[in-house]
Amino acid sequence: MAIKGLAALALLSAIHGHQPASPDQPPNLTTWICTSSGGCVAQDTSIVLEWESRVIHETDSPTPCLSTNVINSTICPDPVTCAQNCVVEAANYTHSGVSTAGDTLTLQQYVHENGQPQPASPRVFLLGPDFQYLE
């Protein structure tokens, strides 16, 4: 348990240490801040998927650096080497069952791919106009 937590922590710092393969594109969502004095005011926010939804693979091959939360210790013997050897792909929001339209957010439990239902069950966070997490 402690080792798993430590490994996850090391990987997280490794992920933070390098550039993504392509920029993530969080879907835009209009949200509303409502107060009794000011009424409701629209704000430009966006929806970001948790980091587990991203494919992390070796820089020059599709070999995953992490599969089902197990870190490949050949590619990732330590956080610094891991950051050099791995890239993070942008999240695919459609594949993960996340879509927005105006002020409507849709999260799908399953998505249809190749005519088959596939589990999606996305977990998302709300980003403010400055792309920082909103609580």
Residue 110 burial (CB count, 10 A): 12
94 contact partners, CB below 8 Å, separation of at least 6: 111
Residues in region 28-57 near ligand NAG by CB under 6 A: 28
Distance from chain centroid for Cα 70: 18
Min dist CB 100 to ligand NAG, Å, is 8
> If you search the block for the tokens 């409502």, which residue do you land on?
34
Min dist CB 35 to ligand NAG, Å, is 25
Which of 113, 121, 129, 134 binds ligand NAG (CB under 6 A)? It is: 113
Which of 12, 16, 17, 25 binds ligand NAG (CB under 6 A)? It is: 25
Distance CA 99, CA 29 (A): 9
User: Token pair for residue 61?
Assistant: 């091959």
15/66 with CB nearer ligand NAG: 66
Q: Does 63 bind ligand NAG (CB under 6 A)?
A: yes
Please give the single-letter amino acid code of residue 75: I
Distance CA 123, CA 47 (A): 10
Stretch that binds ligand NAG, among 3-11, 23-31, 47-55, 101-109 (CB under 6 A): 23-31
Stretch that binds ligand NAG, among 2-10, 35-43, 88-96, 123-131 (CB under 6 A): 88-96
Q: Does 94 bind ligand NAG (CB under 6 A)?
A: yes
Which of 18, 21, 55, 92 binds ligand NAG (CB under 6 A)? It is: 92
Radius of gyration of the CA atoms of the chain, in A: 18
